Each structure stands twice: as C-alpha cells, then as structure tokens.
Chains A and B, each alone.
Chain A
C-alpha cells in the first residue's frame, strides 16, 4: 500500500522555532497581562444600569435641551480646526521644503527633519496640556497644540512627496532659465498639489476629531462641554454631542473624497 501524501498549506511564519516561540511567548504575555490587570468587578457590575441608561439615551437623541451650549462648543471646535489647519499647513510648507532631500542642502535638511521629528513625538493632547499652562485656558492653547501636530504630519508628508516627484519636469523648467521661485511654482508645486490638497482635507478631519477632546485639558472646543455632561451623568446631552461629532466627521470624510476627485 502506498502512503498517501496530503497537502498542508505552508505556515505564515516559515521558521518553526520562531513560530512556536512567538505563539507561546504571545500567549504567555496575554495571560500575564490579564493576570496583572486589577479590575474592580463590583464597580464594573454597578455600571451595568448606567450603561443601559447611556445606550438608551441614544434612542432617540435629545437635541433640544442644552442645545445652545452644545452648538457653541461644536462651533468653537470647528473654527479652532479651521485656524489650526490653515496655520499648521502654512508653517509646514517652508519646513517641508527644507526637509526634502532633493531641494535642501544637507545641514538644512537635517535641521528641518529634526523639527518634524520633535513635533511628531508627543500626542496633541500632551502639547495642549503644556500650552494651557503657558497661554492660559481657552481655544488659543488648543490651536497651538493642533498646529504643532499638523506641522509634524503635513510637513513630513510634503517632504516625502517632494522627494518622490518626477525630476524630469523639474529639470525641464530649470533649463528654461527660471528663477528658483518660478521653478518651485511651475515644476514642484503642480506635482505635489493634488495629493497635498487631499492630505489637507484629511488633516482637517484629524484636527476636528482632536479638537473634540482638547477641552478635557481646558484647551477649548466641544470636549469641555462633553466632559461636563459626563461628570453630571447627563447622558442624553453626551449622546447628542457624540452623534453630532460622528455626523460632522462623516460629512468631512465624504466631502474630502469628492474634493480629491475634483482636484485630480
């Protein structure tokens, strides 16, 4: 009788020892992690009726009460988003140009890469924490935090996009005897603009989402209102705010898709 050979699919990680040590190590880590997590189960159980009340307050949401507070907060978040996105992008253009390897001389390149790395390290909310200490409570601190975050994000992507551009077009424009600014305007800028407009919309979206939480540390926006509603257990207002945030984020996401299509 001949032995039948049955096909087995190749494993995802080919080296057997690595596969096994990763599986066992991962499993052990999860067990230890769950073991060291101290959870107050009584408190969790006590939360059940509260959770029920919270979920019930979404159906239907209560748009009427406290609406003036809510709309004021949402509006503040929106204009904070607009200002910080514009300021962040305007500042990140020179930084991005400086951080592009094919445009800037080596020392300038390293300096601006450093600036970008520093502004990307900390989450916006930690920057906001310090901005509140420096500039006082209010939307200005939030705008500073969001602008710094936008510079790190947008500057890095702009620099990478410039590095990936087609050098042939740049050379063609240069060979006409253009000045440096003309060269930027007619060869670099048209190549990066379509993608950068899309990314600007994306950053606007991120900034709005972030501005919704900055209020927690006192940096303005809808977050402060939301925090108050949670502290007072006014779940109907919290549900309304969350729904409005979801709605605006969805609207921005869809319209940014259309704008990107229209630009390209």
Chain B
C-alpha cells in the first residue's frame, strides 16, 4: 500500500509517487493542449457577436412565436419523405450489413488474411463518413432528391449495423454449432440452423435501434438537398420565416419522440 513517512507516522496515500507523477504529467499535457486550442478559438472568434448573442436569442424567440400552424399542410409530404428515407435506408443497410458481418466476424470469415481486412475496411469507411457527407457526395452525383437521401442513410448505416452484428456473431455459443455439425450438416445448414437463430434477436434489435437514429439523421439531410424535412428547415431559415422554423422544430421533435417510443417498444418485446 502506498504511504508516506511523516515523522513516525505513516500516512496513507492513494497512489505511489511514480504513478502520481505520471498522472500529473498527463494532466499537464492535457491542460496545455486545451489552453493552446482555446487560444486558437479565441483568435478566430469575433467576441462582439458573442456578447451580442443574448439579445439576438431574445429577438429570435420573439419572432418564432407563435408557430405558423397553417404551414403544416405543406409539411406532411416532407415528413413522409423523411420516414421513407429512414426506413428504406435502414432496409438497404441491413441487407448489405448481414453478409458483410459474416465476412468480418473472426469465427465465420472465409479467410482471415484476405477477406476479413477488406470487410473491416468497408465497415470503418462507411462508419467514419457522416451521413450528411454521404448525402453531399450523392447529391453531387445523383442530383438532389429522396434517392440520394436513402442511399446516404444506407451507406452510413451499413458500417454501424455490420459492426454491431459481427461483434454479436463473434460472441455466439460454439457448442450449438458443434451440435449441429455433429449431425452432418453442410456449411450453409450450420449457418442457417446454428448461427442465424442465435444472432436473430441481436440483429432485429440493431436494425430497430439504427432506424431510430436514422429518423433523426434523415430529418437533417435536406440541408444538403437530399430530401426530407430538412429542406423546408433550411429554406425557412434562409427566408427568415421564423414562425415556420419553430413549427418544423416542433414537428422534428414529435417525430423523434414517436420513433424513440416505437423503437423502445419493439426492442422491449424482442428481449
């Protein structure tokens, strides 16, 4: 136990000296990096605008109330588009993620040297690129619209679903596979009767979880022109129609709450 001699009395300490010094050094480096970064922030900020912000915020809230309820008629179609983007995107992701997860899992991959790294690379690149960036790319290539949104959500979610799914595959119970192998089952039968039933609950849970996230994400894809309610949000902000903005925010809030409730219900019934 680390302690410190103080006259004749030993005083307890949480850590010994070396450990404590390492921690101090790490903290010092951390603080130094933060101070340096903060200085960069400070240099890149016009503080007059920042001090003016409370007044601006006040002004904005005043203009946002009350929400312009008639605008709702225009919003039904974008809401439907948002739900389509999230759902079809998730569906697409799930279809692709399923095989990729099997290629990436250590215990089911056909080749650890060749196929697994490629599958992992696909997962990482899909995950590292935000769905808004995917949308940006796809809008440039395919033109603005719902299709770009669906594909953007799909590409982003493949990595997410495949990662969680291959972790689930790696954690399966091997004894069941052995039992099925012992009956003389072929490779595809082992997959079908030994592995798939074990991961199906996880798979369903992951899909619903991702669908919930995708509802939020598809609400903002319109900012780059990929369809959905974000399109109305950005155009309302551009035309400074604050009463429309507040209504759209309310609608997004409601959609998010409903989707969260639905996904919680479904996941609860699966587990």
Q: Residues on A close to B: CB < 8 A?
A: 9, 12, 29-30, 33-34, 36-40, 43-44, 46-47, 50-51, 54, 76, 79-80, 82-83, 86, 121-123, 125-126, 129-130, 133-136, 138-140, 143, 186, 209-210, 212-213, 216-217, 220, 223, 226-227, 230, 233, 238, 242, 245-246, 249-250, 253
A83 to B124, CA, bound (A): 25
Kindly provide the distance from the CB of A69 to the nearest chain B CB, expressed in whole angstroms: 16
- What 13 additional pairs, Cβ within 8 angstroms, besides A29-B87, A210-B130, A249-B124? A37-B84, A54-B141, A83-B34, A86-B34, A126-B233, A134-B53, A135-B45, A135-B49, A135-B50, A140-B45, A216-B224, A233-B140, A246-B124
Q: List 27 A-B contacts (CB under 8 A).
A: A37-B146, A37-B147, A37-B150, A38-B146, A43-B142, A50-B141, A79-B40, A126-B233, A129-B233, A134-B53, A134-B57, A134-B60, A135-B49, A138-B44, A138-B45, A139-B44, A140-B44, A209-B128, A212-B133, A213-B132, A226-B133, A233-B140, A242-B129, A245-B128, A246-B128, A250-B128, A253-B124
B145 touches A227 (CB 8 A): no
A46 to B38, CA, bound (A): 46
Q: DSSP class of A's interface residues: helix, strand, loop or mixed?
A: helix
- Which residues does chain B contribute within 8 Å of A130, judged by CB atoms? 60
Chain A CB within 8 A of B177 CB: no
A79 touches B37 (CB 8 A): yes
The residue in chain B whose Cβ has the minimal distance to the Cβ of A50 is: B141
B129 touches A139 (CB 8 A): no
A36 to B78, CA, bound (A): 12
| B2-27 residues at the A interface, CB under 8 angstroms | 14
A209 to B131, CA, bound (A): 10
B137 touches A238 (CB 8 A): yes
| B253-271 residues at the A interface, CB under 8 angstroms | 253, 256
| B136-179 residues at the A interface, CB under 8 angstroms | 136-137, 140-143, 145-147, 150
Chain A CB within 8 A of B1 CB: no
Chain A CB within 8 A of B200 CB: yes
Categorize the interface residue count of chain B: 35 or more
- Which residues does chain A contribute within 8 Å of B80, judged by CB atoms? 36
A122 to B233, CA, bound (A): 13
Q: Which of B140, B141, B193, B252 contacts A122 (CB 8 A)?
A: B252
The residue in chain A whose Cβ has the minimal distance to the Cβ of B88 is: A33
A50 touches B37 (CB 8 A): no
Q: Which of A38, A134, A138 contacts B145 (CB 8 A)?
A: A38
Binds A, one of B66-74, B98-106, B108-116, B212-220: B212-220
Output the residue of A79, A186, A249 with the most chain B CB within 10 A.
A79
Q: Which of A40, A134, A242 contacts B56 (CB 8 A)?
A: A134
Given A50-B140, A79-B37, A138-B45, do A30 and B91 touch, yes or no (CB 8 Å)?
A: yes
Chain A CB within 8 A of B182 CB: no
Kindly provide the distance from the CB of B103 to the nearest chain A CB, expressed in whole angstroms: 19
Q: DSSP class of B's interface residues: helix, strand, loop or mixed?
A: helix
A27 to B179, CA, bound (A): 35
Kindly provide the distance from the CB of A18 to the nearest chain B CB, expressed in whole angstroms: 10
A231 to B124, CA, bound (A): 26
Q: Which 10 A-B pairs have CB atoms at the shortest separation, nearest pair first?
A: A136-B49, A43-B143, A249-B128, A79-B37, A140-B45, A47-B141, A213-B132, A33-B84, A134-B53, A82-B37
Chain A CB within 8 A of B181 CB: no
- Which residues does chain A contribute within 8 Å of B29, judged by CB atoms? none
Given A212-B130, A246-B125, do A82 and B140 touch, yes or no (CB 8 Å)?
A: no
The residue in chain A whose Cβ has the minimal distance to the Cβ of B50 is: A135
The residue in chain A whose Cβ has the minimal distance to the Cβ of B43 is: A139
B220 touches A123 (CB 8 A): yes
A216 touches B132 (CB 8 A): yes
- Which residues does chain B contribute within 8 Å of A126, judged by CB atoms? 220, 233, 249, 252
A154 to B37, CA, bound (A): 21
- Which residues does chain A contribute within 8 Å of B141, judged by CB atoms? 47, 50-51, 54
A230 touches B140 (CB 8 A): yes
A212 to B129, CA, bound (A): 9
- Which residues does chain B contribute within 8 Å of A80, judged by CB atoms? 41
A177 to B158, CA, bound (A): 53
- Which residues does chain B contribute within 8 Å of A51, judged by CB atoms? 141
- Which residues does chain B contribute within 8 Å of A82, judged by CB atoms? 33-34, 37
